[in-house]
Amino acid sequence: MNQQERETLSGLERLGLRVASMINSPAAQLQRRVLVHRLDTDADQDWHQVLEMLAETEGLEVTTTSDGAVLLAWDHHTDDDRVAEERDVFSVEGPAPF
């Protein structure tokens, strides 16, 4: 993303991208949780709107900590998770292509 695109994003969009990036990080995905801190640059309205959207997300637990940060945690397994059947897994034989 270049500087001009960054300047055209609203505060809400920037906050949403930051939270999404934190949620999608490998560490958060392994632990199934992430701690989000509010930055000085996050407007009150944007912060509350993002928290409201997160609170409405099924399977996501939103907990406010004593210092004002927000802990997001989600289930390890849902009905929507796909479980690989033995017939879906196959081995590849032969030399590596590289």
User: Span 53-79, mean pLDDT?
Assistant: 90
Q: Kindly report whether the global pTM for this prediction surpasses the value 0.85.
A: no
Our count of domains for the chain comes to: 1
Residue 81 lies in a domain: no
Q: How many CB atoms lie within 10 A of CB 15?
A: 22
Where is pLDDT greater, at 94 or 55?
55
Residue 67 lies in a domain: no
Residue 39 domain boundaries: 3-57
**Distance between CA 28 and CA 30 in Å, rounded?**
5
Q: Which of 6-10, 43-47, 78-82, 84-88 has the highest mean pLDDT?
A: 43-47
Q: Note the pLDDT of residue 83.
A: 59
DSSP class of residue 75 equals: -
Band the pLDDT of 88: cuts 50, 70, 90.
low
Residue 53 lies in a domain: yes
Residue 79 lies in a domain: no
Residue 71 lies in a domain: no
User: Span 27-54, mean pLDDT?
Assistant: 96
Residue 23 lies in a domain: yes
Q: Tell me, rounded to whole angstroms, the distance of Cα 71 from its chain centroid.
A: 11
Residue 85 lies in a domain: no
Residue 36 lies in a domain: yes
